[in-house]
């Protein structure tokens, strides 16, 4: 199987029950909806999946469910990033046993680790599994890591096969893509820049808004692949109008609220995250209904 990933990979929400335990039934319903929309796989346990509010055991449960739900339908990329290197290695080894297709990780970022320390983290992670390993590149969250210079050094680590590029600096994405070669892949991470990211060398995308309008992103990607740039641009404009409306609210509670409107009971987040107040929820849903209806 080709280890280079391309296409549309929703960064899947993690539904919680009202008592805030994992809701794997709702997770299955969401994943079914995503595959029905034509996505190429799923990205599990990332920031959108609220990995930072779950135990290692819960993250393993979700990964196992994702693999079962994806058989014959698409690939699973599991985010295994942890504050402790040993925990990330444990999750990566589990992912391989469970049948995950690739692992991904943010760099450690609770402290301002040095570049050498970050590189050592990725060496340890990549050495713990035979799966392709992806760097989750998100400098606005994790701090300043030199772009193209960092890329060159981390790409030399055996087992590192891809980047999830979540940054607005498409100049750096282009430099990285030019260096990458055929054995390395880059997935775009900012939903509002999917088409520009593809133009600059990304092979696909991972995104949060894919949860609520997966068909829009699949349509954009297919238009891009077929060479219809005008249609792809129109799809990106449509996506960005939705993002512009939703980003006035806190992202994860807003996405879960919209998923609920669409029949997926994603529940609410765990503390310290607060749910949206009722009036804000209604305002959000009114705006989203109008935007989606206008594109029907």
**What contacts 257, CB < 8 A, 6 or more positions away?**
276, 281, 284, 285
Contact assessment for residue 49 and residue 14, using Cβ atoms and an 8 Å cutoff: yes
Rounded distance between C-alpha atoms, residue 77 and residue 66, angstroms: 9
Rounded distance between C-alpha atoms, residue 81 and residue 164, angstroms: 13
* Active-site hit among 9, 164, 210, 256: 164
Rounded distance between C-alpha atoms, residue 209 and residue 229, angstroms: 21
Q: Rounded to the nearest 10 degrees, how much is the dihedral formed by the CA atoms of 115, 117, 122, 128? A: 170
* Active-site hit among 136, 137, 210, 256: 136
| Cα angle 16, 21, 23; round to 5 | 50
136 is catalytic: yes
Rounded distance between C-alpha atoms, residue 212 and residue 200, angstroms: 26
256 is catalytic: no
**Which residues are tagged catalytic?**
136, 164
């Amino acid at each position: 199987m080709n280890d280079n990933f391309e296409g549309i990979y929703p960064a899947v929400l993690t539904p919680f029950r009202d008592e805030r335990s994992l809701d794997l039934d709702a997770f299955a319903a969401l994943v079914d909806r995503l595959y029905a929309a034509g996505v190429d796989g799923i990205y599990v346990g990332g920031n959108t999946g609220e990995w930072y509010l779950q135990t290692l055991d819960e993250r393993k449960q979700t990964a196992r469910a994702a693999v079962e739900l994806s058989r014959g339908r698409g690939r699973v990329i599991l985010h295994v990033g942890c504050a402790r290197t040993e925990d990330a290695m444990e999750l990566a080894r589990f992912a391989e046993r469970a049948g995950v297709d690739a692992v991904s990780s943010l760099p450690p970022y609770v402290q301002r680790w040095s570049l050498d320390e970050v590189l050592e983290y990725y060496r340890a992670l990549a050495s713990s599994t035979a799966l392709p390993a992806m760097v989750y590149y998100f400098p606005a969250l994790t701090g300043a890591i030199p772009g193209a210079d960092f890329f060159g050094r981390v790409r030399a680590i055996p087992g590192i096969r891809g980047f999830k590029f979540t940054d607005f600096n498409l100049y750096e994405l282009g430099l990285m893509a030019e260096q990458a070669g055929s054995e390395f892949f880059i997935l775009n991470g900012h939903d509002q820049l999917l088409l520009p990211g593809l133009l600059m060398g990304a092979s696909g995308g991972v995104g949060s808004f894919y949860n609520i309008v997966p068909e829009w992103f699949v349509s954009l990607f297919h238009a891009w692949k077929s060479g219809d740039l005008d249609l792809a641009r129109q799809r990106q404009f449509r996506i960005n109008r939705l993002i512009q409306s939703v980003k006035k609210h806190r992202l994860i509670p807003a996405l879960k609220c919209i998923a609920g409107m669409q029949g997926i009971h994603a529940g609410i987040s765990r503390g310290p995250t607060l749910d949206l107040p009722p009036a804000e929820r209604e305002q959000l849903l009114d705006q989203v209904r109008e935007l989606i209806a206008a594109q029907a």
